[in-house]
Amino acid sequence: MLTALLHLLVLWPYTASGLLAPGWAVAVLLVVWALLGALAVVVHRRHGAVSALVPLLALGVWFAALSLGEAALGWRG
């Protein structure tokens, strides 16, 4: 339950990415977010409380993607 709530909270920065990233990148990020949600379910079934780390991974992926897009692809807000 905690993992699901945390993962839903991480959705906010993913959707706000449209302020910096182009639409296609936001769509890719949302697919990545959904896949990380599926990963959280799998990890929860196998390792229980460790699944609460998946939303932290999701935040790291989001930050890395936007940083890389800004540095390498010239995304500007």
Identify the pLDDT of residue 57: 97
The pLDDT mean for the chain works out to 96
**Distance from first CA to last CA of the chain, Å, rounded?**
34
Q: List, for residues 26-42, the tens digit of each pLDDT value.
A: 999 999 999 999 999 99
Closest CA to 26 of 41, 7, 12: 12
Q: Which amino acid does the sequence have at 35?
A: L
- The reported pLDDT for the residue numbered 53 is 96
Give the other-Cβ count within 10 Å of 24's Cβ: 8
Q: Does 56 have pLDDT greater than 80? A: yes
Distance CA 1, CA 38 (A): 14
- The region that residue 74 occupies, defined by phi over 0 for left and psi between -120 and 50 for alpha, beta otherwise, is left
What average pLDDT does this structure show over 44-71? Answer: 96
Residue % of the chain over a pLDDT of 90: 92
